[in-house]
Structure 1
């Protein structure tokens, strides 16, 4: 089994490696992605207030096998951005991605958000498939996109 818990400082290196490993696999270890964000190595410093949270998923051995978070998306009213949904290769294909989305959407609702928004890329077809199966609808690129390489944008009413 596995469990969700909030990120701690001790998780920072494992989560940063998880994100970078996934992006590299899909040729997204390039400028304009989170791969080069300075804060990626210190996520626990950023998340953990009323507007934004990040959770890790650990297996029975206490190893971090995934992570997912959200942050307020200022340009759109009552909207949270689903952020950094990543899994280890061993955890992929297990259905855990769907459970992670259910989990984070519930946390968003508890925080008072009405809409979930996310950014992704054509190279991440498995992720896009999961988002669409979970009811996300593709939208036009918003003006306020931080990671300029991302080229697919989705939203869902919570």
Structure 2
């Protein structure tokens, strides 16, 4: 079964959280695909991952950058996996498709958006019904991630 993590973003936005989580995946030599809710958002994340820190960047690409298999992190707005990733991030309410082929799937959702919150709850129920291993993470007032379920 796939390990599925839900990250409830309240204190920090996606732009602050996603690069750190992707970095942790790369430290473990995991290949990653990040699925955004739209091409415009994918392009914004593409820019972010090149510039999010002054002293570093995350190696990544999109379909515009050539063969996906060359990219350790692939950004998409589709349900594709051209780099053979074992970890899939779903952001901006992207539709997950089949998650069974992945070792880990991470839903990042804006807890300040009532529609995103409702959709995350619906996804939780659907993924749980499929029998996957689920965890739910929320930031503490100190900014640390705490497992809530």
User: Would the TM-score normalized by the shorter structure come out above 0.5?
Assistant: no
Query: Normalization by structure 1: what TM-score?
Result: 0.34
Query: Relative contact order: is structure 1 or structure 2 higher (C-alpha 8 Å, sep ≥ 6)?
Result: 2
